[in-house]
Structure formats: C-alpha cells, structure tokens
C-alpha cells in the first residue's frame, strides 16, 4: 500500500510504503501535524485545571474532550448532586415548620438545570475567550483521543474525520464512570446509576439504594429529605460508612431513619430485576433468611471505575496497577513524558484532589522542582444530614496503624452558633499524637456548617505545626469554628466548659495498643 504525502512548501509529492514507514512519522517530518507543548486528554475538572496551569508557564496546550467540558464535575456528578442536596435541606427545614409542605419536582429540576447551565456557560465562555487572545496558547478539540505513540495523539471527530497532533508531554485525565454489577441490567431509567438521576420525571414513591458508602448515603439523604420518597439502603457491612468511625456512622444513620429511611443492615443482594416497570430485589441475611421487596426505582452506588479503555495506553506501554487504574509515581506514569491525574488513578476520587494532581503534574513538566504530593491533609465533605467534614486520619485508621493518640470530642450542643441555628446535632473531634507535641493527626466534624471548620486544622497538618497558636487566636463569635478552638483548648486543659463537669458533652481519651481510656485531662 502506498501513501501519497504532499509537502506544500516544497511543492513535491512523496510516495511512502506504509509497511516500512508509518504515516504518522511522515506527517510529523513534513510539518503536517499540529505541535503542542502539552496535550491534555479529558476536559473534566482535572484536565481543565491542568490545561489552565500550563498556560501560566506560557506553554501551548491542547485540550481534547469527547463529550462535554466539565465532565462529572458538572454533569451527573458533583454539581448536580450538591445542588440537589442544598435544595433538599432547604425543603427539610421548611417541612420542620410546615409539615404538609409539598415540593414540586419540576421546580427542583429547573434549579439544578440552572446551576449546570451557569457553570457550563462560565467554563465554555472562558475557553472561547482564551482561544481568541492575540498571544494564543490554548486550543480545544472536541473528539475522541487515542495515544498512538508517546508524543502523538489521534483525534477522531464526531463526523468521522481524523486529525493527528503531537506534543512534548501528555496528561491523561479521562476520569471514571459508575461501577455496575455484571448481574444487574441498568437501563438508567428504572435501575439507574448516578448518571441516570437526571432521567427522573418525578419524585419516585420508593427507591432502594445499593451501596451505603458516601455517594449512596448522600442520595439517600437527598431523597429522604424531600419527604416524597421512601428510601431503603442495602448494606452488606455491619454499618453504613464503614471507612469512617462508628460514632459518625451512628449520627448519619439515626438522621436517615428519622427522615423515614430504612437500612437493610448485613444484607446481601441475591438479585435485582425490572418487573412490570418496577424493581424487584431479593435479599439474603446472615443465617440464610431471604426477603423480596418491590420499589419504583433503584440506584446503584457501588463505586466508580477508571476510564482506561480505548485510549491507546497499550500502544506506549503505560502500566496499570492491581486495581486497573493508571499506575503513577507522583502523577508521572512509567512513560516519562506522560502524566496522569484525577479519577483515572482513583487515588482519591475527589474534584479537589484531581485538580491538585493535574496542576502538580504540569509543574513537574514545566516548572521548578517541587515536593511530592501528600494526601494526608486533604479536606473532604460528605453531603449528608448533618454534613460531615474530614481531614487527615480517623480513629480507626490510627488504631489500624498502631499509632498511639489522644482524642477530644465536643458536642454541638455547646456551640453558640449551633444553638442559635437550632441545629445542635453533631460533634467536633480532633485526634493528636500521644505526646507533649500533640501533632494533629486528623479531625472530623459532624453537623451544620461542618465544612467551614476544617481548613485551619488542615493547614496545621500540612505544615506539621502544633495546636497552641490556633487555640489562642481570636475566633469570630458566634461561629461554628469556635468548636475547633474549644477542642484545642481541651487538649491544653484550658477549655471554658470542663470535661470533668460536662462529661456527656466534652470527652477526652487516650488510645494505646487499641485500648481507649477516658481521662478528665490530657495535660
């Protein structure tokens, strides 16, 4: 087979035998392919952040996205679910005062769509304006990317046309998708993943959620808070949120049940299928007892899997790890000029983590030498009722790693802001090393505005500082973050309320060799 290539500058035609020399090589030699400093594959939160960081270094960058810029950060994921959560909590608050308040599904859907449209428009306009700058650095292609070699990417457009581009570096940020059991037929209408929630036309009267991790519990919280859906959760483990401490799981479960939800604890799903337009599922409990239930909808929430297929990883020998994710060493794959960020690594499937990884990868490509990324001070929020904010290790992680530690817990009932809001369910918990330095290992806050309370502690973990400076700062009053200050004061034995007086609301204990002992003072 002969390939005809025309060099427009030299006005010459060259015939190349494709079995000897590849067409990609010829196109590259004759300047036909567009050349970039960085090609980013995937336009979700990670890819977008990486492309923007490359511009900061004055680099020519191409962003390739096959569907919609923003990815799950906007569509079928973070923004949509959190907008739903915000509206659900508002409705729940109204229903506390007006029990028969009836929320309209179309109104809620419109609010979610408006949020998506606003964020989508912001990002799209931003990209369009970047493309029009006189000193143009940013380029965008809509299409499916395939890595042909360590520097070359093939782009297949929607109309079937093909374009080849090259770059010094490649950043893989192809994200993830919901995991689906092989034995369940998911039609995204009746049995859905988080991607199918948008297909609902009304609040289902009943819905079962398979999986009691963060996402499953978040959607259970959302739909139970609207007061229109009878929610059940299937949880094979001994308790929901098994990766978190038991006291956190108990608060969340109690509030779910108070909203009318029910947890099938210690139950295994034998089968789930659509019958007569509804969902029938069978459970098996310890001891062999089985139950059959029928609901309108089912939500599958058993984690996510990385998008590693059909992007050409095998062409260049990019390694995968034992979980089927792209292997990396501080965002760099085993191919030195190919980097990776975000859910495709599933190190931690969080938007803030993916963005940080992508920005870090770009600095490693074009910037000065930087310290490796650390994941020990990552702040996260679980959008439950009440919300849960976390940073660093929890108690069960400390025990599993054999780390001796001290713990202080402060009930929300002691916080003036929580009292003013009439939202006193929850607690603050800080974990520190069991020594005089009391270096912070982790923190958990369960309650109203929990997310506002953790960043200062995250900074202390990041900088490996002690607790005294933060304890002595003047915090605003009344505020939720005063609870953090009181926890630190408890550690220093100078809190306003005394643990040995309010034993049910202020708790201190020391844990060594897996045994925790309550104490009246930690100093």
- Tens of pLDDT along the chain (523 residues) come to 444 444 434 434 444 444 434 445 555 455 567 999 999 999 999 999 999 999 999 999 999 999 899 988 898 888 999 999 999 999 999 998 998 899 999 999 999 999 999 999 999 999 999 999 978 999 999 999 999 999 999 999 999 999 999 999 999 999 999 999 999 999 999 999 999 999 999 999 999 999 999 999 999 999 999 999 999 999 988 889 999 999 999 999 999 999 999 999 989 999 999 999 999 999 999 888 999 999 999 999 999 999 999 999 999 999 999 889 999 999 999 999 999 999 998 667 788 999 999 999 999 999 999 999 988 888 899 999 999 999 999 999 999 999 999 999 999 999 999 999 999 999 999 999 999 889 999 999 999 999 989 888 988 888 887 788 888 888 889 999 999 999 999 999 999 999 989 999 999 999 998 888 888 777 6
Question: Rounded to an integer, what is the distance from CA 168 to the centroid of its chain?
Answer: 30
Return all residues near 155 (Cβ < 8 A) that are at least 6 apart: 64, 141, 143, 144, 145, 146, 162, 163, 164, 165
Which neighbouring-strand residues pair with 284? 268, 290
| HSE-CB of 425 using CA atoms within 13 angstroms | 15
Return all residues near 289 (Cβ < 8 A) that are at least 6 apart: none
12-17 and 2-7 as β-strands: parallel, antiparallel, unpaired? antiparallel
**CATH dotted code for 386-519:** 3.30.390.30
506-512 and 405-411 as β-strands: parallel, antiparallel, unpaired? antiparallel
Q: Which of 302, 223, 235 is nearest to 260 (CA)?
A: 223
End-to-end CA distance of the chain: 82
Return all residues near 476 (Cβ < 8 A) that are at least 6 apart: 482
CATH architecture of 191-302: 3-Layer(bba) Sandwich (3.50)
Is there a common fold for 33-177+303-374 and 191-302? yes
Q: What are the phi and psi torsion angles at 126 (to 5°)?
A: -55, -45
CATH architecture of 33-177+303-374: 3-Layer(bba) Sandwich (3.50)
Domain residue ranges in the chain: 1-29, 33-177+303-374, 191-302, 386-519
- State the DSSP string of 344-387: GT-SS--HHHHHHHHHHHHHHHHS---PPP--TT-EEEE-SSS-
* Predicted TM-score (pTM) of this structure: 0.88
């Amino acid at each position: 087979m002969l390939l005809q290539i025309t060099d427009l500058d030299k006005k010459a035609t060259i015939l190349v035998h494709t079995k000897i020399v590849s067409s990609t090589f010829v196109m590259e030699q004759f300047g036909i392919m567009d050349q970039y400093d960085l090609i980013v594959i995937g336009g979700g939160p990670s890819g977008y952040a990486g492309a923007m960081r490359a511009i900061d270094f004055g680099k020519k960058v191409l962003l390739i996205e096959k569907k919609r810029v923003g990815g799950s950060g906007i569509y079928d994921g973070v923004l949509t679910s959190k907008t739903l959560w915000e509206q659900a909590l508002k409705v729940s608050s109204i229903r506390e005062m007006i029990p028969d308040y009836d929320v309209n599904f179309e109104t809620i859907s419109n609010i979610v769509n408006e949020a998506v449209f606003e964020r989508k428009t912001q990002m799209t306009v931003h990209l369009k304006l970047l493309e029009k700058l006189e000193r143009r650095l940013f380029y965008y292609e809509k299409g499916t990317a395939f890595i042909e070699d360590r520097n070359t990417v093939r782009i297949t457009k929607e109309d079937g046309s093909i374009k080849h581009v090259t770059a010094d570096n490649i950043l893989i940020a192809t994200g993830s998708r919901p995991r689906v059991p092989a034995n369940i037929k998911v039609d995204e209408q009746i049995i859905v993943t988080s991607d199918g929630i948008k297909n609902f036309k009304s609040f289902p009267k009943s819905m079962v959620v398979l999986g009691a991790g963060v996402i499953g519990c978040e959607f259970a919280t959302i739909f139970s808070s609207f007061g229109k859906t009878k929610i059940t959760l299937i949880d094979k483990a001994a308790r929901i949120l098994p990766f978190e401490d038991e006291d956190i799981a108990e608060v969340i479960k109690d509030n779910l049940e108070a909203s009318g939800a029910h947890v099938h604890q210690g139950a295994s799903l034998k089968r789930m299928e659509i019958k007569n337009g509804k969902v029938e599922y069978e459970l098996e409990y310890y001891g062999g007892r089985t139950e059959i239930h029928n609901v309108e909808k089912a939500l599958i929430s058993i984690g996510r899997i990385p998008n590693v297929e059909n992007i050409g990883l095998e062409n260049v020998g990019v390694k995968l790890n034992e979980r089927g994710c792209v292997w990396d060493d501080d965002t760099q794959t085993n191919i030195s000029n190919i980097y990776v960020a975000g859910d495709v690594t599933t190190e931690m499937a969080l938007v803030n983590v993916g963005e940080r990884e992508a920005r870090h990868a770009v600095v490693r490509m074009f910037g000065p030498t930087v310290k490796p990324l650390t994941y020990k001070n990552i702040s996260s929020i679980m959008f439950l009722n009440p919300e849960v904010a976390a940073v660093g290790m929890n108690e069960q992680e400390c025990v599993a790693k054999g780390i001796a530690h001290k713990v202080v817990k402060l009930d929300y009932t002691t916080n003036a802001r929580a009292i003013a809001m009439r939202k006193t369910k929850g607690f603050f918990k800080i974990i520190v090393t069991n020594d005089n330095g009391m270096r912070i290992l982790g923190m958990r806050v369960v309650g109203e505005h929990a997310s506002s309370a953790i960043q200062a502690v995250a900074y202390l973990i990041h900088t490996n500082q002690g607790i005294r400076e933060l304890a002595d700062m003047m915090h605003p009053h009344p505020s939720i973050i005063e609870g953090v200050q009181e926890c630190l004061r408890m550690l220093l034995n100078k809190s306003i309320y005394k643990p040995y007086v309010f034993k049910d609301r202020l708790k201190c204990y020391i844990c060594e060799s897996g045994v925790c002992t309550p104490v009246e003072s930690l100093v």
